[in-house]
Structure 1
Amino acid sequence: MTINPVLIKSSFAVVEPHGVVVAEYFYQHLFEHSPGVRGLFAEHIDEQRDRLWAALGVVVAHLEETDTLVGVLRDLGARHARYGALVEHFPAVGASLLATLAHFAGEAWTEETEASWTAVYGVITDTMGQALTTAQNA
């Protein structure tokens, strides 16, 4: 799978106007489909919701700036280690992220768009996962 920055940015442009409602939908989906991860989050997830939305925007904005993106993702991975996150949680998060993006992108969500977002999420999980594992073993 390859990342198509044009598809990522154009689909995100369709999703972005929905604002934090996207992140709220994501968490609702995640907790409904993977209730075991709920304990990793505070009862009220307003702050986390805002962080997720901001992080997603940073990923899209820096998609073609590899050094910046890798640095951001490594930092996120190390921080998630402190929260008790495990690499095993990443597939559930990815499934909820893709479902959320598809929901809000509507007709802009094509097979190619999904494949490109799947590839982006692969980069996210690989980079964050390495940093998370390193932090957990430190």
Structure 2
Amino acid sequence: MTIDTVLVKQSFAAVEPHGTEVTAYFYRHLFEHHPGVRGLFAEHLDEQQDRLWEALGALVANLESTDELVGILTGLGRRHAGYGALPEHLPAVGASLIAALRHYAGDAWSTEAEASWAAVYGVVADTMGRAMAAAG
């Protein structure tokens, strides 16, 4: 699957004005569709939402910088392993991320944008999953 970085950046720019709403939607979607992961998170998600938003911004900002991106994702994978997250949780996270982005991107969302985000998330899940497995 090919990543169209222009579409990823355009769709992210469209959701940026809705930052906390996007992350709140993400967590509602994740917990509604995968309630078993709720115990991995603090009761109050304000800090977690901020960290998620920061990570998304870093991901988009470093799309063309492979070494930087791999370093960020490897660190995230290790930290998440310490919280009890498993590589098996990553598909649920990806589905909820795509749902949140789709919900807020408006006209910037298309089947091509979704395919590019899915490809980006494939890299995220693969890199974080390997780091999680190595940390465990």
Q: Does TM, normalized by the shorter one, top 0.5?
A: yes
Q: Distance in 1 between matches of 2:107 and 2:34?
A: 27
Match of 2:33 in 1: 33
- Name the amino acid aligned to 2:3: I
Q: CA-atom RMSD, angstroms?
A: 0.5
Deviation at 1:21, TM superposition (A): 1.2
Which position in structure 2 is the counterpart of 1:49? 49
Q: Which runs of 4+ in 1 moved over 4 A?
A: none
Residue 41 of structure 1 deviates from its aligned partner by 0.2
Which residue of the partner structure matches residue 61 of structure 2?
61
1-structure distance, mates of 2:111, 2:23: 22
Q: Give the Cα–Cα distance (whole angstroms) in 1 for the partners of residues 107 and 14 of structure 2.
A: 10
- 1:62 deviates by 0.5
- Give the Cα–Cα distance (whole angstroms) in 2 for the partners of residues 134 and 77 of structure 1: 9
- Helix, strand or coil at the partner of 1:67: helix
Q: CA-to-partner distance for each residue in 1:8-44, whole Å, 9 max, x for gaps?
A: 0000000011121110110011001110000000100
Mapped partners of 1:95, 1:126: distance in 2? 15
Task: Give the aligned length.
Answer: 136
1:106, distance to aligned residue in structure 2 (A): 1.5
Aligned residue number for residue 122 of structure 1: 122
Q: Paired residue for 2:132?
A: 132
Distance 1:107 1:29 in 2: 21
What are structure 1's unaligned runs of at least 5 residues?
none
Alignment partners' CA distance in 2, 1:69 and 1:16:
20
Q: Distance in 1 between matches of 2:126 and 2:32?
A: 25
Identity of aligned residues (%): 69
**Structure 2 Cα separation of the partners of residues 37 and 7 of structure 1:** 30
User: Counterpart in 1 of 2:13?
Assistant: 13
Amino acid at match of 2:13: A
CA distances 1:104-138 after superposition (whole Å, capped 9, x unpaired): 001211010000000000000000000010000xx
| Alignment-mate amino acid for residue 16 of structure 1 | E
- State yes or no: 1:106 paired with 2:106: yes
Write the distance in 1 (CA, Å) between the matches of 2:35 and 2:89.
11
Q: What secondary structure sits across from 1:43 in the alignment? A: coil
Residue 87 of structure 1 is matched in structure 2 by: 87
